[in-house]
Amino acid sequence: MNHQYDVVIVGAGLAGLRAAIELGEDTRVAVLSKVFATRSHSGAAQGGIGAALGNEEEDRWEWHMFDTVKGSDYLGDQDAIEILARDAPRAIYELEHLGVPFNRNSQGKIAQRAFGGHTRNYGEAPVKRACYAADRTGRVILDTLWEKCQQRGIAFYDEFQILSLITSDGQCCGLVAYELATGALHTFHCKAVLLATGGAGRIYKTTSNAYASTGDGLVVAYRGGAALEDMEFVQFHPTGIYKLGILISEAARGEGGILRNKDGQRFMEHYAPVIKDLAPRDMVCRCMLEELKAGRGIDGRDYLHLDLTHLGKDVLNSKLAEITSLARTYAGVDPVEEPIPVLPTCHYMMGGISTNTDGQVLTDDKNIPFAGLYAAGECACVSVHGSNRLGCNALLELLVYGRRSGIAMRRFIHSVGFAGLPEKPEADTADRIARLMENSGIERADHVRADMQKLMMDKVSVFRRKEGLLEAKENIAELKERYKNIGIKYQGRSYNSELQDAIDLGNMLQVAELIILCALHREESRGAHYREDFPGRDDGKWLVHSLIRDSGDGPHLFTKPVTITQHQPKERKY
Ligand SMILES: Cc1cc2nc3c(=O)[nH]c(=O)nc-3n(C[C@H](O)[C@H](O)[C@H](O)COP(=O)(O)OP(=O)(O)OC[C@H]3O[C@@H](n4cnc5c(N)ncnc54)[C@H](O)[C@@H]3O)c2cc1C
């Protein structure tokens, strides 16, 4: 089936929807999503969205910029971070005007709370910068933007999964998608494509991410010739519910929650004397694992406690209701009475499809754009987070850069006509699906997936070293061989979850391999990438972005400089 639009947006999270709203009124736009739009992972965001509004205490965008640069361990591009911090207040007021029901303070202004790594006056003390709607911030923003898209008549294709891009003369002119309900392939012909497909946390055994976060957009872009940037930087969040990885938002510590070891000690006091439990996530995760290594896990086991008991019932029920309920349901503890057992959980991909500050996808280290292809949100790397993202900066990035991509695409589509589609643009994709369906191999996708998730957790998570990464590289190659032998028993076309599992797994194996290659390449420790065999940060050699591209005969790794405008790299102390 063929469709034609000016712009096709893949992904109905906040990045995709914000871009759609920018274009909606006079442009023919379609939004594709492999899950029903409002089930996108953005709806699970809990704690807040950052902006220096100064509603609770003095704050400035310059401080927000500095914190983000420092939090990124100086790998973030400072031009992109400046745009983020400066534009943040506008982005929040825009949401307010669209109808997002933020919490209010006693003066009736948007309420704000503390979050990790956000400080006053260049690191003096924590500052209240996160705007929030209880601990359902993503949910209320997603629902509001979705409603606006409906009002603007934007076409939604829910449960459509992108499988490949269509290019003609080096320009992206459409894509091929698979309709889950019927098994039909659809061709979308357009002038511009925006990839806004979110993260890839499902490649790890323990993760806070939704089932749809399998890195599809990264793989589609990589196979299409785009460069991926800084893939080695994978964020673990300190407080996942023990064994399950379900997130307990950093807002819990923003409201005063405390991490404790088996002796009841507030151990973060020793590691980060100024901001304690509100140190950035990469540091807190490493400190937690150090505590466990030193035998200070609760009852000698491999978890720690997040203590919220002193916050009181009212705060928990009004400002942290969601996580209170998650703790009751999934950990079987009532946070009003008892501490929550927690352990770091895979949370966020700092790396992604390399883009400039207009969301244009880049193909190399010379910043040459891929005509017609854009990316925004977690799947993109405009590099505002560098090697470690600060809490509440992701939602902000989705809105600021989703909008900028929308503006840039509008400019672009008015300057070009529709490129001609190649003959049978879906033929290769149809062959790929047919090969998967006809394979009578004895492997099962869920077994290969479980082995991949364990491997990534054991060898490519918070602490890494060369031997483990080399083993991981070999193991991924073995898993890719096993993948070729996956047989699909159910031959129905409607909601064939076996087929979908196999497609998702193919993407996850590819993302996992690229993370391992980049992690092996970077022989230093920076942000979330900690190499036990290279424990120091090495600005002389490694103050560069990693880029990886498909060279035709495998992945090709290279680097490009970091954009530094105001803040020269310094030692990161909190
Ligand atoms: C539990 C949790 C809590 C969080 N809390 C916060 C917070 O408080 N503050 C903050 O700043 N950040 C938070 N984050 C991070 C932030 O929510 C995410 O980074 C962000 O929501 C990603 O948004 P996105 O628009 O890029 O994509 P997502 O919201 O992940 O949406 C991805 C979209 O792409 C679609 N898609 C994927 N693959 C395909 C495909 N092959 N074909 C078609 N469609 C596809 C999906 O259907 C979906 O619509 C949190 C993350 C998690 C997991």
Query: Tens digit of pLDDT for each residue in 49-60?
Result: 999 999 999 999
* pLDDT 10s digits, 113-169: 999 999 999 999 999 999 999 999 999 999 999 999 999 999 999 999 999 999 998
Pocket of ligand 1 (CB under 6 A): 10-16, 32-35, 40-42, 44-49, 137-138, 160-162, 196-199, 208-209, 212-213, 216-217, 247, 249, 348, 377-379, 392-395, 398
Q: In angstroms, rounded to a whole number, what is the distance separating the alpha carbons of residues 35 and 10? A: 11
* The two structure tokens encoding residue 164: 């490949």
* Band of residue 277 on the pLDDT scale cut at 50, 70, 90: very high
* Band of residue 447 on the pLDDT scale cut at 50, 70, 90: very high
Given the candidates 3.50.50.60, 3.90.550.10, 3.90.700.10, 3.40.50.1370, the CATH classification of the domain at 238-345 is 3.90.700.10
The 3-state secondary structure of 257-321, one letter per residue = CEEECCCCCCCHHHHCCCCHHHCCHHHHHHHHHHHHHCCCCHHHCCCEEEECHHHHHHHHHHHCH
Separation in Å, CA 513 to CA 162, 285, 371:
21, 23, 27
Q: In angstroms, rounded to a whole number, what is the distance separating the alpha carbons of residues 80 and 65? A: 10
* pTM recorded for the entire structure: 0.97
- Closest ligand 1 atom, residue 251 Cα: 8
CA torsion through residues 386, 455, 199, 323, sign:
negative
% of the chain exceeding 90 in pLDDT: 98
Domain with CATH 3.90.700.10 in the chain: 238-345
Confidence at residue 276, expressed as pLDDT on a 0 to 100 scale = 96
Place of tokens 């925006």: 194
- Closest ligand 1 atom, residue 376 Cα: 26
* pLDDT 10s digits, 395-435: 999 999 999 999 999 999 999 999 999 999 999 999 999 99
Confidence at residue 97, expressed as pLDDT on a 0 to 100 scale = 97
Question: What's the fold here for domain 427-542?
Answer: Methane Monooxygenase Hydroxylase; Chain G, domain 1 (1.20.58)
- Residue with CA closest to ligand 1 atom 2: 45
Q: In angstroms, rounded to a whole number, what is the distance separating the alpha carbons of residues 222 and 245? A: 29
Q: Ligand 1 centroid to 354 CA: how many Å? A: 18
Domain with CATH 1.20.58.100 in the chain: 427-542
Q: Ligand 1 centroid to 14 CA: how many Å? A: 7
Q: In angstroms, rounded to a whole number, what is the distance separating the alpha carbons of residues 512 and 416? A: 37
Q: In angstroms, rounded to a whole number, what is the distance separating the alpha carbons of residues 529 and 233? A: 6
- Closest ligand 1 atom, residue 393 Cα: 11
- Closest ligand 1 atom, residue 48 Cα: 8
Q: Ligand 1 centroid to 34 CA: how many Å? A: 12
Q: Ligand 1 centroid to 13 CA: how many Å? A: 6
Alpha helices (runs of H) in 294-392, residue ranges in sequence order: 312-319, 321-326
For residue 314, how many other CB atoms are within 10 A of its CB? Answer: 9
281 in active site = yes
